[in-house]
Chains A and B, each alone.
Chain A
């Protein structure tokens, strides 16, 4: 199966975007994103906390639908899925 992972804003700068992942199995969203992010430490640290969960402010979407932080560890990706990972900003 093929899944597209899209990183936005700062995450894109650190990790690139529109990353196509080809997999034999169907990992959970958290594991899939982690595997990509692990390739670059500052990218990984920007997205994940020390326990390996998404930082609580990070927005994760699967096919345009928001996933709760807990769901990212239980929802499996399927062929053709698009996963978006977005860091909200706070400045003004």
Chain B
């Protein structure tokens, strides 16, 4: 049940989703891997939208060089754990939701436990090895993965529905090389908003998800493009024994519940 306060807080989006849609957001548990450039805008917007439980994981300390893009953290937070800074801000932004921040490095020994029984995993990482771990976990647990990545003024995003769409390993069999990537805050802002929009659409079961499509953003040209991506039957993550049984290619967000008027 939504409280009077919540009905008030979410009034303008209840016009879009109905109270039923808002309840779905409230019941959702979203796991955000990373409280950096992508994790900042994603967590802020999922918090204001009323996602009931947000778990955010990061192991870093806020540095001055983060502040051009990691808008969850302010100048006074330099030296503070990103998880501490994230909890402070997100609780202030929306006291009606539950924020859990975990200060750890995501690795193969803890990823399954950290993700738990989340409704969705948001990839806000800055490296492919951890992305691949999140992807494997998403496939094994049959939880959607919302991918985003950026460099400079370029970005990409896609939504992985295990057993239905290609997984991250089908789309990117080999990781791009590691580097200290150049970035201006608007790019993770933009790509993060695509990911957060996907999360909301998935939860309220509305619209057409970014499934089987890789969204490519070229900020220099102000040009967006998408390329079709397909499952790799030989994929070591989702093409073999780990693949969930269901074979029906159906966009879950296309089905039930449209907005209530």
Residues of A within 8 A of B (CB): 8-10, 12-13, 56-57, 59, 61, 64-66, 84, 86-92
Contact = CB atoms under 8 A, between A and B. Distances in A.
Interface string B154-190: 1110000000000000001111111101010000100
Given A8-B218, A9-B154, A13-B220, A91 B181 contact: yes
B156 A89 contact: yes
A8 B229 contact: no
A13 B153 CA distance: 12
Contact of A10 (B36, B123, B125, B154): B154
A5 to B, nearest CB: 15
- A-B pairs with lowest CB-CB distance, top 9: A91-B181, A89-B151, A92-B126, A56-B174, A9-B154, A57-B174, A92-B38, A90-B176, A57-B176
22 contacts: A8-B216, A8-B225, A56-B173, A56-B174, A57-B172, A61-B227, A64-B227, A64-B228, A66-B230, A84-B227, A89-B154, A90-B126, A90-B127, A90-B178, A90-B181, A91-B37, A91-B150, A91-B181, A91-B183, A92-B34, A92-B36, A92-B149
Contacts of B181: 89-91
B176 A88 contact: yes
B126 to A, nearest CB: 4
B21 interface: no
User: Secondary structure of the A side of the interface?
Assistant: mixed
Contacts of A10: 151-152, 154
Interface string B54-68: 000000000000000
Interface magnitude class on chain B: 35 or more
Contacts of A56: 173-174
A56 B175 CA distance: 8
B39 interface: yes
A62 to B, nearest CB: 11
Interface of B: 34, 36-39, 123-128, 148-152, 154-156, 172-179, 181, 183, 188, 216, 218, 220-221, 225, 227-230
Contacts of B150: 89, 91-92
B155 A89 contact: yes
B174 A86 contact: no
Which among A9, A56, A90 has the greatest number of chain B C-beta atoms within 10 A? A90
Nearest to B188: A92
Nearest to A61: B227
B65 to A, nearest CB: 13
A70 to B, nearest CB: 12
Given A57-B176, A66-B230, A86-B227, A91 B151 contact: yes
A89 B149 contact: yes
